[in-house]
Amino acid sequence: MTRPVRALIGIALPILTIVMFAVLLAFSLLRLSTIERDMRIEATQNMLWVVSRSHVASLQLSETAARRVLGEIDQETLDLHHQLFLSRVALLNDGPQRRKMQALGFGQMLDDFQLDLPELAVLLTRLEPGAEADLPAINALLDPFVAMLTPASNKAMVAEWDELGDKLDTSRREVWQIIISIIGISLAGGVLSIHFLLTIRNARRRARLLDKERAFSQLLIGSSGEGIVAVDRNRHCTVWNGAAEQLFGVPTSKAIGEGIGAVSGFFQIDRIEQAIDQALAGVAAILPDQPFFPPQADAPHYLDLRCFSLRDGTEIIGAILLVSDETERYAAQRQSMEHREQLEELVQARTRELDAALQRERATAELYRHFGTMISHQFRTPLAIVDSALQRLMRRSEKLSAAEVLDRGGKARQAIARLIGLVESTLDAARLDAGQIEIRSEDCDLGQLAMEVCTRQNETTPLRHILLDTGPPGLMARCDGVHVENILVILLTNAVKYSPPDSPISVTVHRDGQAIACKVSNRGASICPDEREALFDRYYRGHNAEGRPGIGIGLYMARSLAHMQGGDLQLTDHADDQICFVLTLPRAVKRAEPTPIRLGETA
């Protein structure tokens, strides 16, 4: 059997086995679903209980009427039994029970009895103790119904037993089909398992052989003092050992995958190309004493070149070139020593880089662990608010007034808006880390931007007093106006969030040397020195943030956006009851026309 045929069988057999496995499994699941549906008890299968309850209710009503005539019970008890009897009759005359009664041949009798129910109700209503004359009329109305229920219950029981027997027979056949399918699935799984075990064993054996051959080849290539170069049939370099690097001055990273002629001009010489062609054609070639001029060398080197074919069975897959330098052995050894030292330095440098990367990875893992805990808590709070509001609306939907519904709907929307804000903040931080935020710098009036942000904030929180001082007209900054607005919104939102409700918030724009600055101040708890710089770290929240919404991204994004525009954001020295953040941006070289803004205007 040829190799392609074996390969085709090796692929087709597991595919066919898997298809058979899937078909049998689907068939078994379908049969199980059919059995479950057939064994489900339908409403009509409770007919015996419905008929018997109706029979009992009619007998109890007749007995209760007799006891009412004897004065043993009151009218309320009689009415209770009458209502119970009517409910049994209604159940018997409704839906699947009605259809079953018609199938049993008692539909017309039920219709006839329905016509007698009003007369029966009148007789029971006027029935008084001692009124024995009404009892025969009541019994005359009830006796046909009682007489009908006895054969009806017998027929219902026989019909249910017949249906149950048919279902059991059908289920028995389907169970055997499932058992046969399971046996087929087991056989398919066994065949598949055997095939996989054989494949794994062969793969492991081949892997061990390949590992041995690879280790041996690497040992030969690495320990060889000759330059070893391998090319494929397209003359692309596939092996370039250290000796080849020393001979031709081309590192392995630049040689692998490149055309051999592009790696070094030595391989573009006609006789060298002919030797490679011979090797690719299956003929070995040896070229001794080939001159080679290294870059910036006064005297040539003389190389011995031997070319051989690389084969995979009978197929030629490339050529291997053995190059040895027969001149200046001492120089070659010195170059080898220098190269070894360089490799050691590279290994040491790489080791240091890996150690640093490991430390960064551990720090990042710790950061995201705290972030995960914090973000789950922050997300859970608005979700709990939404769930609570919706549950109360569902439980008390009929009792709540329109105002209460609007109030709870508003709370749910506020919680959803808060959740959306948390998600957007997280996504903004991710985009910032991924470098997906662009900066389009232009000349912007920082005072005008501050006034617009303060106006919007005042519309959001009309009860907060914001003092705006835009400074002298024409304080133009070189920045991206959209991102500067985002920074100011973050600072102003934090000032509103972390300051007392009755305290004012101050926003001041002024010139600071070659920069334009905007200072946002508010009253609040003092910030300890250890937290001053940590506030700008991603996902860090200060001690005064407990109980307030947020995930610690705002100040991190604000400072990052400021740095991207050539500016900075700092927490400056302040009095005990004042917190001041200062945003500085580069001053525009060319001034635009000043925009008139009143000094000390209140936003």
Give dist(CA 278, CA 259) in Å, integer.
17
Please name every residue paired with 308 in a beta bridge, in sequence order, or none if there are none.
320
Tens of pLDDT, residue by residue over 362-418, are 655 555 554 555 455 455 556 666 667 677 667 766 666 777 777 777 767 766 765
The DSSP symbol for 46 reads G
CB atoms within 10 A of CB 289: 10
Tens of pLDDT, residue by residue over 51-74, are 788 888 888 888 888 888 888 888
Contact 240, 247 (CB under 8 A): no
Which CATH number is 343-436 given?
Answer: 1.10.287.130
pLDDT band at 602 (very low <50, low <70, confident <90, very high): very low
Six-digit token string for 500: 């007392």
Q: Are strands 505-512 and 466-469 parallel, antiparallel or unpaired?
A: parallel
Same fold: 226-327 with 343-436: no
Please name every residue paired with 580 in a beta bridge, in sequence order, or none if there are none.
521
Instruction: Measure the CA dihedral 546/549/555/561, to 10°.
Output: 170
Tens of pLDDT, residue by residue over 198-247, are 888 888 888 888 777 777 766 666 666 678 888 898 888 988 888 888 77
- Say whether 53 sits in a helix, a strand or coil: helix
State the maximum Cα–Cα separation within the chain, in Å, rounded to a whole number.
145
Contact 227, 322 (CB under 8 A): yes
pLDDT at 573 over 80: no
Contact 385, 415 (CB under 8 A): yes
Give dist(CA 33, CA 171) in Å, integer.
11
pLDDT at 584: 92
* pTM greater than 0.75: no
Give dist(CA 260, CA 231) in Å, integer.
7
By C-alpha distance, which of 444, 441, 495 is closest to 468?
Answer: 495
pLDDT at 601: 42
Structural class in CATH, domain 442-586: alpha beta
How many CA atoms lie less than 13 Å away from 9 in the CB half-sphere? Answer: 7
By C-alpha distance, which of 516, 521, 499, 518 is closest to 579?
Answer: 521
Six-digit token string for 190: 């066994």
Highest mean pLDDT: which range of 70-74, 91-95, 155-159: 70-74
Which CATH number is 226-327 given?
Answer: 3.30.450.20
Choice between 35 and 498, residue whose per-residue pLDDT is larger: 498
- Say whether 106 sits in a helix, a strand or coil: coil
Give dist(CA 366, CA 360) in Å, integer.
10
Annotated domain spans of the chain = 1-223, 226-327, 343-436, 442-586
Q: Say which amino acid occupies 576.
A: D
- Say whether 316 sits in a helix, a strand or coil: strand
